[in-house]
Amino acid sequence: MRAFAPAHAPPLAIATALVPLLVGLGCAACARTRPGLSEAGRVTVVLKHQPLWGDPAAFRALLDRFRRENPDVDLRAETLPNGSDVAREMFLTALEGGAQDFDVFAIDVIWTPEFARAGWLADLSKAFPPERLRRELLPGAAASVVLQGRTWAVPWYLDVGLLFYRTDLVPRAPRTYAELRAFAEEARRRDPSLAGFLWQGRQYEGLNCNVFEVIWGHGGALEQDGRITLDTKAAGAALDFLRGLLASGVSPRSVASAGEEESRRVFQEGRAVFLRNWPYVFALAQAEGSPVRGKVGVSPLPSESGEAGAGALGGWQLAVNAHAPPERIRAAERLVAFLTSHEAAVELALRYSRIPARRAVYDDPRVRTGAPFIASLLPAAMAARPRPVVPEYALATDAIQGELSAAVAGLRPPGEALLRAQRIIDRLESR
């Protein structure tokens, strides 16, 4: 597996590893295949998931409960590399090779359409009918797993883009972009060393989330009839707005090379008024010793019109390996049902601050008292929108990142960058 960790290998190894990697794809799976039935007719189910930060004991206890309730299942949990891109590369090669050494696996919300299209995900429509998911889950979460009327994965926990603000520097959360700018400029007049609005402008998937949110905030849509549409008026206005933030100094230049952590640190040190980021920031900013403890407010993102803006939907979903034999798929479905149940979601919210995909969990008294911050996220979670739910998105996202970054960095006018991105998307979709 070392060959899949490019950041750790010397350039020579990368160049030489790429080629044999491709040749090896075909037989990678045969070596890894393992019989599904262990001794005494018990079914082995392997769960692959990303590490849940925090004390692993609570998650282990959760898995033990499943083991007690399902004595016929021999459950084994394995953790994935933390980087989402690295995990995807691993799945891409393993699943293309027909790997059967895992049954339930956690996938990033944007991979579902792609993996489903490739035929790597078992159809879960029988065990988890789309209508039921739409009834029980938040709208964005349900939309991200249902494709062409069939269920391909079940949302495990969510992430959603939020606006963090300093309650001691601004009167209230801004509802419009104009308010955001005005509040930031006002605070900066009083203290010019402050950064106004921090977001993530580095060339990576997070940049797409940031830009998409502003496109939605300008009333735009990213999908039309199942195709990705970027070359729109709203998208042009969104990029103009972001460029304007940088040009006017409301956002510092460092935004163009910042990811989540870089921007979170600056905000937490008390050096910024506003921050767009994911919910994890709240616990860190309010932790003991944090300079902004007790001064952090959270709200949905602003928009042009003043309605609550939609945050990008992130998070992880549980899918079942289509290559697994039927009896393991059935056992795997039981595991997915258990891990995505109301009870498990309460546990994940309380122990790991994970945002629930189930609507009812936000009203659960245990969550309301034990994790009031999570309970307060319901409006933002309801408004969250998935990135384009089409298989081509995963193919095109890399090209989109490059063009959006070019626009944000001022290399190309927004209109031209969007046109170039659209051309690349159209070429991919026309295949």
Partner 1 sequence: MKPASDEKAALFVAPAVAVLGAVAVVPVLAAVWLSLHRSIVIFHEQRFIGLGNYRFLLEDARFWSALRTTAYFTAVAVSVELVLGLLVALLLVRGHGLLRAAVLIPWAVPTAVSARLWAWLFNADYGALHRLLPSVDWLGSPTAALHAAILVDVWKTTPFVALLLLAGLQSIPSEVLRAARVDGASPARAFFSITLPLLRPSILLALLFRSLDAFRVFDAIYVLTEGGPGNTTETLSIYAFKTLMRSGDFGYGSALAVATFLCVVAISLCFFRVLGRER
Q: x/- string (CB under 8 A) for partner 1, residues 310-339?
A: ------------------------------
Task: Give the residue, chosen from 45, 391, 400, 414, that forms a contact with partner 1 under the rule CB under 8 A.
Answer: 391
Q: How far, in Å, CA of 228 to CA of 303, rounded?
A: 22
Which residue is listed with tokens 């870089």? 262
Contact 300, 90 (CB under 8 A): no
Residue 166 beta carbon to partner 1: minimum distance, rounded to whole angstroms: 17
- Applying the rule CB under 8 A, the residues between 270 and 299 that interact with partner 1 are 271
Provide the residue count of the chain: 431
Identify which of residues 276 and 354 has a Cβ nearer to partner 1 in the complex.
276
Which residue is listed with tokens 């403890």? 293
Region binding partner 1 by CB under 8 A among candidate stretches 58-66, 129-137, 376-384, 403-411: 403-411
Identify which of residues 138 and 408 has a Cβ nearer to partner 1 in the complex.
408
Q: How many CB atoms lie within 10 A of CB 132?
A: 12
Task: Give the residue, chosen from 203, 229, 268, 317, that forms a contact with partner 1 under the rule CB under 8 A.
Answer: 203
Residue 68 beta carbon to partner 1: minimum distance, rounded to whole angstroms: 38
Question: Is 83 an interacting residue with respect to partner 1 (CB under 8 A)?
Answer: no
Task: Give the residue, chosen from 29, 46, 62, 88, that forms a contact with partner 1 under the rule CB under 8 A.
Answer: 88
Report the Cα 324 to chain-centroid distance in Å: 26
Dihedrals phi, psi of 273, to nearest 5 degrees? -90, -50
Question: Is 19 an interacting residue with respect to partner 1 (CB under 8 A)?
Answer: yes
Give the C-alpha distances (Å, rounded to integers) separating 347 from 97, 99, 145, 411.
35, 31, 22, 47
Identify which of residues 77 and 284 has a Cβ nearer to partner 1 in the complex.
284
Binding-site size for partner 1 (CB under 8 A) equals 60
Question: Is 412 an interacting residue with respect to partner 1 (CB under 8 A)?
Answer: yes
Residue 246 beta carbon to partner 1: minimum distance, rounded to whole angstroms: 9
- Applying the rule CB under 8 A, the residues between 110 and 129 that interact with partner 1 are 114-115, 117-119
Residue type at 5 in one-letter notation: A
Give the C-alpha distances (Å, rounded to integers) separating 145 from 76, 357, 364, 379.
25, 12, 24, 21
Question: Is 108 an interacting residue with respect to partner 1 (CB under 8 A)?
Answer: no
Identify which of residues 379 and 410 has a Cβ nearer to partner 1 in the complex.
410
Task: Give the residue, chosen from 47, 147, 228, 266, that forms a contact with partner 1 under the rule CB under 8 A.
Answer: 266
The CB-based long-range contact list for 226-231 (8 Å cut-off, 24+ gap) reads: 226/390, 227/390, 227/425, 227/429, 228/388, 228/390, 228/392, 228/393, 228/396, 228/425, 228/429, 229/422, 230/400, 230/418, 230/421, 230/422, 230/425, 231/418, 231/419, 231/421, 231/422
Task: Give the residue, chosen from 282, 303, 403, 422, that forms a contact with partner 1 under the rule CB under 8 A.
Answer: 403
Residue 39 beta carbon to partner 1: minimum distance, rounded to whole angstroms: 36
Tell me the helices (H) and strands (E) count for the chain, helix number first.
18, 13
Residue 275, SS3 per DSSP: strand
Catalog residues that contact partner 1 under the rule CB under 8 A: 6-12, 14-16, 18-20, 22-23, 85, 88-89, 92, 96, 114-115, 117-119, 201-204, 252-258, 262, 265-266, 271, 391, 394-399, 401-403, 405-412, 417, 431
